[in-house]
Structure 1
Amino acid sequence: MKAFRNLSAILMVCLILALGGVSAQHAPTLTPPTLVPTVPSPDGEALLAESAVARIMREGVVRVGILFNEPPFGELNPRGEVFGFDADLARSMAQTWGLGDNGVQFVQVTRQTAVDMLTSGKVDMLAAALVHRRELDTLIEFSQTYYPSYQAVVVRNGDGATELAHFADRRIGVVMGTPSEIAVAEWQTSAGYGFTVQRYVTLDLAITALNANQVDGVVENVIRLERAISSAPENYRIVDDRVMLEPIAIGIQRQDSRFRNLIDRTLQYLFQTGRLDEIHRDHFNGTDYPAAGFDVWANVGDAPRI
């Protein structure tokens, strides 16, 4: 009997110790658990409430952002009329869509305000000699290229330079704060040779420096160069080798694929019908439209309508 009581006591002690161990394992801790950090997912890009096509259909007019001081693409004449290559292109697009003679509302934009005017919805599209630059792809979308422009170098007639490499250890003039300055910087970075860059406030001052033999060449958009030397073209020559391509396209709001496809089809339709060539002749001294590389889909078909 005594042995039984001793065995019971031993079993009781073992049970208490076992329960105490379990309690110890699950006892609450005063140190809070470490939370797994949550990385917030980036907000998705907001979808458009509606395509610009829907608004144009509803109101019967397309709002076009255009430059008033960029001949031959866009100008405002003394009578208050907007004209130029971009202006006539926009009018032809609106007529193709069936909007009629009053189907375009031109809105003045500048180089500084154009993208903001588009993204804020103040205009439906930009026909403003707008260069398709990679850094703008996160802000707006572009149509296909409708004008293949580029940055070029102008030299004095008689200069022996026929390619960019011939400017090694020479002097290049450029206008400060312009895309040309960016083009020259990229040229310097990629070239395997050096040259001196001299900066000017205006293109006229840079051309004056070229005439005075203070620089050996001036870099600017080829269309602006041709306009700058038009009074005495026999004194200058534009080098064939291009500094940087500047494809000009129409800008629209992001994610509006319906409007972008309509614009691309319309550009191709105007190209096929010869209207682009007519507009180019009107504003580029009777010269043919630079058609090389212009993409045309197999199923463009008849005039695109809204």
Structure 2
Amino acid sequence: MRLRKASAFTAAVITLSLAATACGGGDDEGDGDNADGITIGIKFDQPGLGLRDGNNEYSGFDVDVATYIAGELGYEPDQITWREAPSPDRENLLRRGDVDMIVATYSINEEREEQVDFAGPYFLAHQDLLVRADYEVPDVEAINDMTLCSVVGSTSAQNVQEDFAPNARLQEFPTYSECLNGLEGGAIDALTTDDSILAGYAAQEEHQDKFKLAELDLSDEYYGVGLPKDSDRLEDVNAAIEQMVEDGSWAQAVEDNFGPAGYEAEDAPEIGARPTD
């Protein structure tokens, strides 16, 4: 895919915005009571998407999207409180009011839409496998003989069990980082989740040349912005996503975060698009 470049001005705005966010944003200890700002749930352990480093600075495509949306809603970067949103806890975080929204590789599906509202989608990924560099997966059927790892509460784990590899040995851990440790050590054959997430891990300096994507495109995963049910922000968030695509900021964020991994992202999906059977 050929991504159009954002203007120099837009790119500069994004850079300054993210720098301010990293320095001024809150951490995951907040309780969601952010009267003068907005609390946004993200992943803390997904390089390229949502990552908190040792200096409590945040980076990744989801962080860029969340920062842009917050800006369109009237919040400066230093008014954002970041809170960790592990996959099994996302619905509860929204239901309890611990966060105002979640931008955390949150795949839209019917079961989740019964509990929360989704703006977007803002990204289309595909489930795949991350394997060791010398490991070959000849076809989808071969996955049934493998030991896989994914995270608790993810659609990836559900897809393995219900769809393409019901006989595979599946291990579920709280974080992808734990799965990656098992993959590197040989305890598992593959980490399965969205290709965007896998590309982020494979691109890390310490992992280069160790792993590769199987490139199987096992499913379509439409990432949405999670909002509390019957949220009055739904239309405004959708408008913010559309504006981010139109002004080139979305394309710039894709290039900045996924370009180093050589990951070919899909074009931005239409607002309202949903997975089909």
1:50-89 equivalences under 5 Å are: 61-89=37-65
Question: How far 1:272 moved relative to its partner?
Answer: 0.8
Change in Cα spacing, 1:76 to 1:237, as seen in structure 2 (3 Å) is closer
What does residue 265 of structure 2 align with? 290
Residue number in structure 1 paired with 2:198 = 225
Q: Is the 8 A contact 1:146 1:294 kept in 2?
A: yes
The match for 1:262 is 236
> 1:289 Cα deviation (Å)?
7.8
Residue 118 of structure 2 is aligned to residue 118 of structure 1: no
The Cα RMSD (Å) is 3.4
Partners of 2:42 and 2:82 within 8 A in 1: yes
For 2:80 and 2:65, the matched residues in 1 are separated by 11
AA at the equivalent of 1:182 = Q
| Greater mean alpha carbon deviation, residues 227-236 or residues 102-111 | 227-236
How many residues get paired?
A: 230
2:70 alignment counterpart: 94
2:205 counterpart of 1:205: no
- Going from structure 1 to structure 2, the CA distance change for 1:154 and 1:146 (only over 3 Å counts) comes to same
Deviation at 1:123, TM superposition (A): 1.9
Q: 1:107 aligns with which of 77, 83, 89?
A: 83
CA distance in 2, matches of 1:225, 1:92: 24
For 1:158 and 1:121, how far apart are their aligned partners in 2?
46
Amino acid at match of 1:129: T
- Aligned letter for 2:54? P
Q: Which amino acid aligns with 2:194?
A: N
Q: TM-score, normalization: structure 2? A: 0.67
Deviations 1:10-63 (A, max 9, x none): xxxxxxxxxxxxxxxxxxxxxxxxxxxxxxxxxxxxxxxxxxxxxxxxx55322
Provide the secondary structure at the position in 1 that maps to 2:182: helix
Runs of 4 or more above 6 Å deviation? none
Q: Which residue of 2 aligns with 1:142?
A: 118
- List alignment gaps of at least 5 residues for structure 1: 1-58, 298-306
Q: How far off its partner does 1:279 sit? A: 1.8
Deviation, structure 1 residue 142? 0.6
Give the alignment's TM-score, normalised by structure 1. Answer: 0.61
Counterparts of 2:197 and 2:264, CA distance in 1: 17
Task: For residue 254 of structure 1, give the secondary structure of its aligned residue in structure 2.
Answer: coil
Equivalents in 2 of 1:232, 1:105: separation in Å? 30
Relative to 1, partners in 2 of residues 1:195 and 1:276: Cα closer, same or farther, differing over 3 Å?
same
Aligned partners of 1:149, 1:110: CA distance in 2, in Å? Answer: 19
CA 1:283–1:168 in 2, change beyond 3 Å: closer, same or farther? closer
Q: Call closer, same or farther: CA 1:62–1:154 in 2, change over 3 Å.
A: closer
Q: Of 202, 209, 217, which aligns to 1:242?
A: 217
1:251 aligns with 2:251: no
Match of 1:15? none
Percent identity over the alignment is 15
Deviations 1:249-288 (A, max 9, x none): 11011122x4111111110110010101122222223568
Q: Which runs of 5+ in 2 are unaligned?
A: 1-34, 273-277
Structure of greater relative contact order (alpha carbons < 8 Å, 6+ residues apart): 2
Shift of 1:161: 4.5
**3-state SS, counterpart of residue 87 of structure 2:** coil
Q: Check whether the contact 1:175–1:206 (CA below 8 A) recurs between aligned residues.
A: no
